[in-house]
Amino acid sequence: MDDPRAKMQDALKQAMLAKDTHTRDAIRLLQSLMKQVEVDERRELSGDDVIQIIQKEVKRRQESIEEARRVGRDDLVEENEIVVRIANQFLPRQLSRDEITKIVTETIAETGVTSAKEMGKLMGALMPKVKGLADGKLVNEIVREQLK
């Protein structure tokens, strides 16, 4: 997997040259979040750690977008959407619903799970396959559909 930090640094340089303040500010925000974790935990972040931080921020921003829409704050919606769009450039491609469904079906066959009572066993085998590539909520929804 490519190093998301190097990709981010290149994108920051490009944004600065193009005088793209939205991209510049979003990348700096993400970099500061990473630096904060490194300082707090006194360790160097791996590529997976960087991806987790970006995913966490994207999820937080998406929740903020929903809340801002609910209260009619279009300015905040736009601001958060920009950060989400830029942050998503540094994440691995997300699996489609069909791709997730296929993986769930294969994992059900591998584990022999037949009912929702065994969902824990299935999720234990499934999540390592889709970690970082799919939203956990969507995976859970598809698993529930398959185990009806």
From first CA to last CA, the distance across the chain in angstroms is 36
Q: Over the stretch 36-54, which tens digit does the pLDDT of each residue have?
A: 999 999 999 888 889 889 9
Delimit the CATH 1.10.10.410 region(s) of the chain: 97-146
Contacts of 38 by beta carbon, 8 Å cutoff, 6+ apart: 44, 45
DSSP state of 117: G
- What CATH number should be reported for the domain whose range is 97-146? 1.10.10.410
- The CATH architecture one would assign to domain 4-88 is Orthogonal Bundle (1.10)
Q: How confident is the model at residue 2 (pLDDT cuts 50, 70, 90)?
A: low
Q: How confident is the model at residue 94 (pLDDT cuts 50, 70, 90)?
A: confident
Q: Over the stretch 124-138, which tens digit does the pLDDT of each residue have?
A: 889 888 887 888 888
Mean pLDDT across the chain, nearest whole number?
A: 90
Q: Which amino acid is at 1?
A: M
Question: What's the CA gap between 28 and 9, in Å, rounded?
Answer: 9
Q: How confident is the model at residue 83 (pLDDT cuts 50, 70, 90)?
A: very high
What's the average model confidence in pLDDT over 7-31? 95
pLDDT at 1 over 50: no
Delimit the CATH 1.10.1510.10 region(s) of the chain: 4-88
What's the average model confidence in pLDDT over 87-115? 89
